[in-house]
Amino acid sequence: MAEPEFTATGVRIGKRLRSLTRAGQVRISGGRLELLTSYGSEIDSAPVQAVRASRPWFAPEDRALADLNGKRYLLTLGDHDPAPGEPGPPAARRFIEAVRRASGRGA
């Protein structure tokens, strides 16, 4: 199995006003984006080319939106990249860049 292109743990994943998990995982691997619970069960997944990732307006730096299969998820990642060797989720900006890079839509 290939090494994942992007992995974040400890991510709060929500849909509208409902929180689905407070310590979930986001993974981009093999051309698919996967949203997983803290136990590893799948919340949703889709081919990266079909995913839209963006930053919500007027939200803190640690938030990102991901549209998968017609559903919009609010992801709360870290507000800054952790220091090398330190635990913690990467910044939302890095997630958005990873989605664009994996789908071939630019930087």
Write down the pLDDT at residue 16: 87
What beta strand segments (E) does 1-107 contain? 6-15, 18-29, 32-36, 42-47, 52-54, 63-68, 71-76
Q: Which residue has the higher pLDDT, 105 or 6?
A: 6
- Domains of the chain and CATH, by start: 4-103 (2.30.29.30)
- Cβ contact 48:95 at 8 Å: no
Express each pLDDT in 65-106 by its tens digit.
999 999 999 999 976 666 677 766 678 889 999 999 998 876
For residue 77, give every residue at least 6 positions away whose Cβ sits within 8 Å of its Cβ, in sequence order, or none: 8, 11, 26, 62, 63, 64, 89, 90, 91, 92, 95
How many other β-carbons are positioned within 10 Å of the β-carbon of residue 53?
A: 23
Structure tokens at 63: 């938030």
Give residue-wise pLDDT tens across range 21-76: 999 999 999 999 999 999 999 999 999 999 999 999 888 888 999 999 999 999 99
Supply φ then ψ for residue 70, to 5 degrees.
Answer: 80, 5
Instruction: Please give the backbone phi and psi of residue 80, each rounded to the nearest 5 degrees, phi first.
Output: -155, 155
pTM, two decimal places: 0.85
